[in-house]
């Protein structure tokens, strides 16, 4: 679960000087019962985070659906009981976290199932195209995907802007010499550079913005050179729900999609007060 201190930042941002509406309208001693429900079908995520937030403010929580479970419209996800002001203080932050995480998890699960039906060995991965990394990376995991790098500190990923300054083979040599513990991945856009990267000792070769037929040519060339078994092949760029199966049919290892996080559609969840406690 995401650390509570990270989640509390959202509460502080949402109510820097308190929830003036609830403090003005709701008696301080009033207790209430509430439920959080799903308003659509999908994979639920962020339940643990919502529970931690409500409990931090003294609200009792009963979990009805756990992270990673498939839910349908109308399902009760959490039952809440406690101080009415506390419930309303946390409401929007908890729903925002659950909505975003569930949206990501739902999309990831859908793509994972599509890809596995074609090629069980292929993994779906996210990218660093997000500012909400703890939330988004955990949601990808709940959906059944790979989070990819969490930060720039995790692994070496040599991209086009690095290669504009240092030649490909030299960049790989320097990276391999820098640390024996870091995976070295190289982003390439041509067959020639893919071969160079594999020969130079890259652990992962990312084929960026290549069409399936171009990737097939790269794979065949790597096999001819006896290099395919040395490297993992990741493909990225221009991949959508509509064409992902064409990529999954190939002898690749990972499909990464920035859209899992930078274009996520929130999952619809709602909190409803059901009475006084």
Give pLDDT, residue 1: 84
| Dihedral, CA of residue 207, residue 188, residue 237 and residue 261, to nearest 10 | 100
Please give the share of the chain, as a percent, with pLDDT higher than 90: 96
pTM: 0.94
Which pLDDT band holds residue 158 (cuts at 50, 70, 90)?
A: very high
Give pLDDT, residue 214: 97
Nearest alpha carbon to residue 241 among 215, 265, 207, 268: 265
Nearest alpha carbon to residue 251 among 230, 272, 228, 267: 228
**Mean pLDDT for the stretch of residues 74-86:** 98
Which pLDDT band holds residue 99 (cuts at 50, 70, 90)?
A: very high
Give pLDDT, residue 213: 97
* Cα–Cα dist 165/193, whole Å: 16
Give pLDDT, residue 170: 98
Token pair, residue 129, equals: 């195209």
- What are the Cα distances from residue 141, in Å, to 55, 117, 164? 24, 19, 33
* Cα–Cα dist 21/29, whole Å: 15
Rounded to the nearest integer, the mean pLDDT of the chain is 96
Give pLDDT, residue 11: 97
**Site of tokens 């991965």:** 125
**Mean pLDDT for the stretch of residues 192-212:** 97
Tens of pLDDT along 214-262? 999 999 999 999 999 999 999 999 999 999 999 999 999 999 999 999 9
Give pLDDT, residue 90: 98
* Cα–Cα dist 197/212, whole Å: 20
| DSSP-assigned states of every residue in 247-276 | HHTSS-SEEE-THHHHTPPPP-EEEEEEEE
Give pLDDT, residue 235: 98
Tens of pLDDT along 110-152? 999 999 999 999 999 999 899 899 999 999 999 999 999 989 9
Give pLDDT, residue 13: 96
* Cα–Cα dist 76/73, whole Å: 9
Tens of pLDDT along 2-38? 999 999 999 999 999 999 999 999 999 999 999 999 9
Phi, psi torsion values for 109, nearest 5 degrees: -60, -40
């Amino acid at each position: 679960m995401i650390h509570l201190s990270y989640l509390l930042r959202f509460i502080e941002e949402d109510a820097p000087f308190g929830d003036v509406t609830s403090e003005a309208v709701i008696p301080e001693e009033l207790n209430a019962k509430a439920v959080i429900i799903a308003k659509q079908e999908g994979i639920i995520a962020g339940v643990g985070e919502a529970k931690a937030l409500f409990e931090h403010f003294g609200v009792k929580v009963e979990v009805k659906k756990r992270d990673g479970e498939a839910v349908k419209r109308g399902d009760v996800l959490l039952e809440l009981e406690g101080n009415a002001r506390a419930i309303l203080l946390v409401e929007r932050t908890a729903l925002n976290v659950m909505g975003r995480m569930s949206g990501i998890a739902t999309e990831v699960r859908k793509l994972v199932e599509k890809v596995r039906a074609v090629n069980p060995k292929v993994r779906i991965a996210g990218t660093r195209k997000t500012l909400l990394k703890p939330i988004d990376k955990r949601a990808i995991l709940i959906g059944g995907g790979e989070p990819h790098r969490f930060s720039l500190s995790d692994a070496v990923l040599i991209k086009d802007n690095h290669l504009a300054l240092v030649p490909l083979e030299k960049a790989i040599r320097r990276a391999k010499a820098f640390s024996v513990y870091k995976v070295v991945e190289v982003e390439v856009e041509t067959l020639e550079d893919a071969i160079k990267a594999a020969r130079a000792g890259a652990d992962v070769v990312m084929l960026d913005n290549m069409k399936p037929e171009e990737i097939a040519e790269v794979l065949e060339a790597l096999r001819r050179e006896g290099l395919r078994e040395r490297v993992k092949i990741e493909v990225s760029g221009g991949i959508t729900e509509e064409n992902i199966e064409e990529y999954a049919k190939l002898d690749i290892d990972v499909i990464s999609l920035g859209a899992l996080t930078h274009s996520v559609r929130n999952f619809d969840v709602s909190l409803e007060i059901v009475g006084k406690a």
